[in-house]
Amino acid sequence: MKKFFLTCLLILWTFPLSAEEEKNVYKYLNLFGEAFEKIKNNYVEEVSSKELIESAIEGMLSSLDPHSTFLNNQELNELKVQTKGEFGGLGIEVTLENGFVKVISPIDDTPASRAGIQAGDMITHLDDEPVLGMTLSEAVSLMRGKVGSKIKLTVSREENQTLQIEITRAVIQLKAVKARIENNIGYIRVSSFNQKVDTQIIKAIKDFKKSKESVIGYVLDLRNNPGGLLDQAVSVTDIFLNRGEIVSTRGRFEREGSRYNSVKKDLIDGLPMVVLINQGSASASEIVAGALQDHKRAIIMGTKSFGKGSVQTIIPSGEDVALKLTTAKYYTPLGRSIQKTGIDPDILVEQVELKKVEVQNKRKESDLRGAIENEQEKDKKNSDNKNKDKTSKKDTSEDYQLSRAFDLIMALNLIDNKVLQ
């Protein structure tokens, strides 16, 4: 306890205060000391000094914003593992909102996404235990557990819908980047911005260029991407720009601001590009979408993003613990802060489920007896049959937003071809 107060005194010496401010600080430090001693001596059960002080620090941080928190040794190690791309749990990115655990987004190909967890879901109970009153760290700890064990989530969804969802815990191995060529369009899906995402995207684009299929444009899918490392967001954006600012951060003091600029060449050579976002696109995803939108390098399609425009810094403190503290806000190249507002898409496209409508067969010219033959039709059929097996063209109709993105790329390509003719 003496060490704690010596640290507080050192802080007072490091940051000079006015006489009135210094008086108030000493007053509240004395209040803290009194509360600490009374709890230690009078609480119904014995409690460790370490637990009390860590809880006090957690209380200070959680009162600031939903993203600032205290990381004990276990939580700090788990965070390090997450950024490397493998950890145990359910596979969801969460935050605290109004005392409940809010899902920022489920992670692709994880137990949570397969169980039907959606961005925006509010988790109210974990194994019938209310989360109201828990810290975010406590809730996350309950969701993690032995691989193969089960947990029941009570989820509140829009329109007063309450769901009971049972999920089996698993080791979450993040494959952050998936890529393929579909309908001559380079499709790149990024599920999170962990380490080496930029190199994976660069490799995918280079592989596309070596392919026999001619790529006419790109779709960068950032839906349900909760974010990750700032440097990866900058590097990924730089892949698609020739010049200009990517993002700036501004802290409490002017000296804490930083600017990040493009230093590479547009690797896709100016081809048309669509970026898909939704409510689950947060933080680093919004940096990428905001920069490409401001530079008019890509068309942003989908729905409004999450709106997390703050930067957290991991500050080591003591032995094997750290503070995760919000130290800055980030701004797009045009100076927009998206904190609590998000990125508005250029083209609003809600995700909907389409069903094929059966239409009664109507007669065509070719159905009429004695219709004149079209000599070009035979050649066209032969040509179609030859080209049918050349490429693998997947059906994107089940994903309405992706289908619209593909349609837009193909339309832009048609316009470009007509202009060149």
Which residue type is seen at 127? D
pLDDT digits (tens, 9 = 90+) for 103-115: 998 988 899 999 9
**Cα→Cα distances 125→26, 153, 257, Å:** 40, 6, 40
**Catalytic residue list contains 221:** no
Query: Percent of the chain having pLDDT more than 90?
Result: 55
Domains (ranges, CATH) in the chain?
18-66 (no CATH), 86-173 (2.30.42.10), 177-348 (3.90.226.10)
CB 171 within 8 Å of CB 131 = no
**Cα→Cα distances 194→252, 291, 382, Å:** 27, 19, 48
CA–CA gap between residue 90 and residue 171 (Å, rounded): 8
One of 294, 346, 399, 416 is an active-site residue; which one? Answer: 294
pLDDT at residue 212 is higher than 70 = yes
**pLDDT interval class at 210 (50, 70, 90):** very high
CA–CA gap between residue 91 and residue 112 (Å, rounded): 6
pLDDT at 394: 47
One of 285, 308, 310, 324 is an active-site residue; which one? Answer: 308
**Catalytic residue list contains 399:** no
CB 267 within 8 Å of CB 242 = no
pLDDT digits (tens, 9 = 90+) for 371-390: 788 777 656 555 555 444 44
**Cα→Cα distances 124→102, 154, 384, Å:** 9, 6, 55
Cα angle, residue 107 at apex, residues 103 and 110 outer, rounded to 5°? 115
pLDDT at residue 362 is higher than 80 = no
pLDDT at residue 142 is higher than 70 = yes
Residue 181 in 3-state DSSP? strand
**pLDDT interval class at 224 (50, 70, 90):** very high
One of 191, 281, 283, 285 is an active-site residue; which one? Answer: 283
**pLDDT interval class at 30 (50, 70, 90):** confident
Between 86-90, 185-189, 334-338, 407-411, the lowest mean confidence (pLDDT) is in 86-90
Q: What is the mean pLDDT of the chain?
A: 86
What's the pTM? 0.76
**pLDDT interval class at 370 (50, 70, 90):** confident
**pLDDT interval class at 24 (50, 70, 90):** confident
CA–CA gap between residue 280 and residue 227 (Å, rounded): 9
**Catalytic residue list contains 283:** yes
